[in-house]
């Protein structure tokens, strides 16, 4: 009986260690989910800032159009006719209608954890029926923690795909913004040359 109880205690201790290890993995995964959520929110805000910057560039183009018309009308018979030089039409900000659901910061499952599984009992078994009960309890805790861990890992996979999509859109947005800003810079430089000629 003593040997059997000792083996049972060792088996239960190993089961409790396994439960503790799974719960520790779950806590780490939930921490990663929290950090990923904050990253998605920041990426979303960064994308909005890029769009606002590009919209400001379009407002600048409207003002530049007015200035170019004014410069073209100045000079009269004392200067050659002037037409503003233009390279290409502005593309404007990237317009994407489909935004992945995970990019929305109000998705509760990205902020709320499933909670760690209950702590395992450390009391040693007194007899065979109690041992079986403790083992079943530990298995139930492990199953619950593994289910929660699987759910969190699925969410992390989805969030990772969302961040990749958002970064891809922002790279394209920045490329379009760079092209439009370069075009505006070229036109402003040309308009400045016309102004110096008139002066």
Indicate the pLDDT class of residue 79, thresholds 50, 70 and 90: low
How much is the pTM?
0.71
Q: What is the pLDDT confidence band of residue 82, given thresholds at 50, 70 and 90?
A: confident
d(CA 46, CA 166) in angstroms, rounded, equals: 10
Q: Pick from 148, 143, 130, 132: which is nearest to 30 by CA?
A: 148
The answer to whether 70 and 198 have CB atoms below 8 angstroms apart is no
Instruction: Locate the domains of the chain by residue range.
Output: 1-75+145-198
Residues 95-130 have pLDDT tens digits of 754 444 444 544 544 444 444 444 444 444 444 568
Mean of pLDDT values over 38-45: 95
Report residue 141 as tokens: 């805790």
pLDDT in tens, 142-161: 999 999 999 999 999 999 99
Tokens describing residue 87: 């390279």
pLDDT at 194: 86
């Amino acid at each position: 009986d003593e040997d059997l109880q000792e083996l049972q205690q060792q088996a239960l201790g190993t089961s409790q260690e396994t439960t503790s290890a799974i719960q520790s993995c779950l806590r780490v995964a939930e921490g990663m989910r929290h950090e990923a959520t904050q990253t998605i929110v920041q990426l979303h805000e960064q994308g909005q800032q890029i769009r606002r910057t590009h919209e400001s560039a379009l407002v600048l183009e409207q003002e530049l159009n007015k200035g170019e018309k004014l410069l073209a009308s100045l000079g009269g018979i004392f200067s050659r006719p002037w037409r503003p030089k233009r390279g290409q039409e502005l593309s404007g900000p990237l317009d994407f209608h489909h935004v992945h659901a995970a990019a929305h910061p109000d998705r509760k499952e990205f902020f709320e954890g499933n909670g760690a599984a209950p702590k395992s009992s450390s009391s040693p078994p007194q007899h065979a029926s109690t041992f079986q009960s403790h083992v079943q309890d530990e298995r139930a805790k492990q199953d619950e923690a593994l289910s929660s861990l699987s759910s969190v890992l699925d969410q992390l996979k989805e969030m990772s795909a969302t961040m990749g999509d958002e970064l891809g859109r922002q790279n394209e947005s920045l490329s379009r913004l760079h092209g439009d800003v370069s075009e505006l810079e070229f036109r402003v430089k040309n308009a400045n040359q016309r102004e110096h000629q008139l002066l």
